[in-house]
Amino acid sequence: NETAMMACISFLILVYWSEKYKVKKIYIFLELFFIATIVITQSKKGMIGVVLAIIIFSILKANGAKGKLKKILLAIIMIIVVLEVIINVPELYDLIGYRFNQLNDAIFGTITAGTSTGNRILLIKQALNIWMNHIFTGVGLNNFSNYQSVGDIGYYAHNNYVELLADVGVFGFTIYYYLPIKL
């Protein structure tokens, strides 16, 4: 995800520079390179980030309400077309499309264990269950990985809040977040 998000941010900087300055061939080459990097990493976050950022960027550049509406409708159509291509072209489905199916399954509660998204959801549920059994003190700092059963020792809950609750309970959670909440 980190590589994909860095590629996403780099892509957006290049899009901005392409708009602000004259479009240069190197910008187009680098934009394609960063898009390819995101696809190769198979990061849903990276793909969604690029699409949403382009949509927001184009809507902000549009003039008037009519122009913004046209951009929004065009964005919806583009998203539908891209999803259809990713899901229905076998090579693209094998590369990235199946990840969006997993995301869809997670949203509608039909995700299965063994997938990246499924394992993350199971880890979060296990952290919540551990916390419910040790509400006030948790199981000890950095001990969630010893209690979870999804993967090897060292797996974390993929959600800082629930992992902190499982590790140090309500007392530790409150102490940890006291100052940021106060500020």
Stretch 154-170: mean pLDDT? 90
pLDDT over 70 at 113, yes or no: no
pLDDT score recorded for residue 158:
85
Buried b (16+ CB within 10 A) or exposed e, 148-172: bebeeeebebbbeebbbbbbbbeeb
Secondary-structure breakdown of the chain: helix, strand, coil percentages, each rounded to the nearest 5: 80, 0, 20
Mean pLDDT of the chain: 85
pLDDT of residue 112: 67
pLDDT at 37 > cutoff 70: yes
Flag whether pLDDT at 154 surpasses 80: no
Give me the mean pLDDT over the 145-151 stretch: 83
Q: What is the pTM of this model?
A: 0.58
Mean pLDDT of 68-86: 85
pLDDT at 31 exceeding the cut of 80: yes
